[in-house]
């Protein structure tokens, strides 16, 4: 139950990040991809990695069961800590105002992890017939997130 609530919370927060982010980007006559990404990157990373990291540490058994994975794995704890590190660094970079390069760096590191995590979940579904909702949604959500970030990233890089 708690994993389903956290999963819905992650998805809703990312939807809000995209909605508000695109509102920021297109608020003026000229498109502002830097402002859009400055808002979206920390919110997306904290929503996905931060909540997932806390879920993996605080609700490890429920989280693993919801995804159809084994419980009690030390690897799960290690992955949760890694996910939390993305969220903490994203917030630190945002709060320190290090700028777009630093924000994109943490986003690309997070996106790399998230892409291969989605691939791992897809393989888990095919190889082990693990069709748990939280397992099969990851590849699709990952692709949607990446697709929604491409335009502002490309436009922001053109401005640099």
Domain residues for 23? 2-159
Tokens describing residue 59: 């609700």
pLDDT given for residue 95 in this prediction: 97
Residue 70 has pLDDT above 80, yes or no: no
**54 has a pLDDT exceeding 80:** yes
Tens-digit pLDDT profile for residues 23-34 = 999 999 999 999
pLDDT digits (tens, 9 = 90+) for 75-94: 889 999 999 999 999 999 99
CA distances from residue 118 to 24, 29, 128, 144 in whole angstroms, order as listed:
28, 37, 15, 11
- Residues 56 and 76: their CA atoms lie apart, in Å, by 7
Helix axes of 74-96 and 33-45: crossing angle, nearest 10 degrees: 150
In whole angstroms, what separates CA 65 from the centre of its chain? 20
User: What is the count of structural domains for the chain?
Assistant: 1
Identify the pLDDT of residue 37: 98
The pLDDT score that the predictor gives to residue 49 is 97
């Amino acid at each position: 139950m708690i994993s389903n609530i956290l999963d819905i919370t992650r998805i809703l927060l990312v939807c809000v990040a995209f909605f508000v982010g695109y509102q920021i980007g297109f608020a003026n006559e000229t498109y502002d991809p830097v402002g859009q990404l400055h808002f979206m990157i920390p919110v997306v990373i904290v929503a996905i990695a931060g909540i997932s990291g806390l879920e993996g540490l605080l609700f490890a058994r429920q989280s693993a069961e919801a995804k159809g994975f084994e419980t009690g794995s030390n690897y799960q704890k290690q992955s949760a800590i890694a996910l939390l590190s993305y969220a903490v660094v994203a917030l630190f970079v945002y709060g320190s105002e290090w700028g777009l390069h630093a924000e994109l760096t943490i986003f690309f590191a997070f996106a790399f992890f998230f892409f291969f995590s989605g691939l791992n979940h897809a393989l888990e579904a095919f190889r082990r017939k693990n069709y748990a909702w939280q397992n099969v949604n990851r590849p699709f959500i990952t692709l949607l997130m990446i697709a929604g970030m491409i335009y502002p990233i490309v436009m922001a890089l053109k401005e640099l």
